[in-house]
Structures are given as structure tokens and as C-alpha cells.
Amino acid sequence: MSTPARTAPLEAVIFDVDGTLVETERDGHRLAFNQAFAVHDLPYQWSEEEYGRLLATTGGHRRLAGYLESRGHDPAAAADLAAAVHRTKTALFVEWVRAGVGLTARPGAHRLIDGLRHAGVTVAVATTGRSAWVLPLLERLFGLGAFAVIVTGDDVERLKPDPQAYQLALDRLHLAPVAALAVEDSPPGLEAARAAGLGCVVVVSEYNRHHSFSGALAVVDSYDGCRGEEGRVHDGPGLTADSLLALHSAASSDAG
């Protein structure tokens, strides 16, 4: 007698923020880091290209500390200086977010979130960014009421690719990983979601076009489902509540 497949309904989708809901990095965080360097009289400015490499380290504070060490600051001094520069960067970025400067939701993100909520699927956030800017940004672009749970870098000790942010989101949602999916844009984000036991759909962001994202349930270049350079993107209407429900159902049957 064959064992019936173990299927679980999709109850929640947990979104990353940076790169996933909003393209914040190149023309947002990077510029705030550069302005903070100037405020602290430091002779550094991150180009678009260099910042792309630095994104391998998640967390603005850790990114700064590693960079300062690489520029010859001793580790203890680098940590203190990174904390000070990061405070300035965060304050600047919060100001920009509150002023509504240049940051918009990725095309199709609203449509997907509305569709999920309409389908009765809970929407949540798990990011390693700081709550000081994450909350006003989500409030301005989506309304905080769209999200049942928001986990930020202030809520966890270990940032992505560690799974802690996703595990905390699942705890707060009172869900097992099998009942949820993650939506991510980057290799550390995918790794974090998978390490938490979640299936993960990748909506590739501008800094991550050349990664392969093995282990993702699906990889799309945009919420609207444009075809990717390597033809690894499905055709059709893009990511919808229905397509996420179908991906989740196929994945949980495979696991059963």
C-alpha cells in the first residue's frame, strides 16, 4: 500500500525586504553609507561595483567593520568606528525614508501581497535590516497592517545566512516551516530560509543577477515573471498567490 503524500496547506509567506520588496541597496543604503563616511571624515566612498562585493556580508554594521579592518583599522577600533558610522548611516537613511526619497516597491510586489492576503495567506517579513528604517519604509510603501509579523535585525543575534530571523518569524506566526514559504533575492537570504526548513522562491535583485540559486523552488527575475538571462524563469503571469500555492503544494508533496 502506498503512503499518501504529506501535504500541508500554505499558511504564510515570509518576505525579505532589501532587494526583495524594495531595491534599497545601490541607490539607498550605499549612498547613506557614503554620506556617513563623509560625516565622520573618513576617506572612503563605495562605488556601485565595490558595494556589490561587500553585500556578501549581511548587516550594515558587520559590513562596515569588515571593510574598516580590511583598510588597516585594528579590529577593536574598527568595531567601535563601525558602530558610530552605522548609527549615522541609519539616521540618514531613516530621514530619507521619512522624506519619501526615491524608494518604491518592486513592480508587482503590491499585487502579490494583496493577492496572498485575499487568498487567506498570512504575509510576514524577516529581514536583517534595522527596525529604525524597516518599519517606516514598510509603513510608507505597504502599510504595517499588511504584515502579521515583522522580524528585523534588531530582533536577532545572528544575521542571515543564519536561519534565526526566519525561525523567529515562524515562532511568532506559530507555524512549522512546512506551512510557509520564503521570498528572497540573494544567496545569504536563500541560505537562511533553507536552513530554517523553508521552501524559498527567489526574485532576483539587481546585485544578484549572476548567481545560480540552486535549492530555490523557483527563480524569477521580477514579480511579473520576465525571462532570465539563462532562461531559468518560467513564462506566464509571474508570481501570483496561485503560483505560490502550487509551488508550495508540489514541494510539500515531494517532501512527503
**What residues are labeled active site?**
16, 18
Contact 49, 124 (CB under 8 A): no
Pick 128 or 167: Cβ nearer ligand XBP? 128
Amino acid present at 155: D
Q: 181: which strand partners?
A: 13, 199
Q: Which three cell numbers stand for residue 194?
A: 533553507
Instruction: Identify the residue among 8, 10, 14, 16 touching Mg ion (CB under 5 A).
Output: 16
Among residues 153, 163, 177, 238, the one that binds ligand XBP under rule CB under 6 A: 153
Chain positions 154 to 193 lying near Mg ion, rule: CB under 5 A, are 185-186, 189
CB of 17 to ligand XBP, least distance (A): 6
252 binds, among Mg ion, ligand XBP, none (CB under 5 to 8 A by kind): none
Complete edge-to-edge strand list for the sheet that includes strand 199-203 = 149-151, 122-126, 12-15, 180-184, 199-203, 218-220
Binds 128, which of ligand XBP, Mg ion, none (CB < 5 to 8 A, cut-off by type)?
Answer: ligand XBP
23 part of the interface to ligand XBP, by CB under 6 A: no
> Residues 213-232, buried b or exposed e (16+ Cβ, 10 A)?
beebbbbbbbbbbeeeeeeb
Q: Which is nearer to Mg ion, 18 or 221 (CB)?
A: 18
- As to burial, measured by CB atoms within 10 angstroms (0-12 exposed, 13-18 middle, 19+ buried), residue 209 is exposed
Amino acid at 149: V
Task: Determine the interface stretch with Mg ion among 15-23, 35-43, 104-112, 113-121 (rule: CB under 5 A).
Answer: 15-23
Asked if 222 touches ligand XBP (CB under 6 A), the answer is no
Which residues form the interface with ligand XBP (CB under 6 A)? 16, 18-19, 25, 29, 58-60, 127-130, 153, 160, 186, 188-189
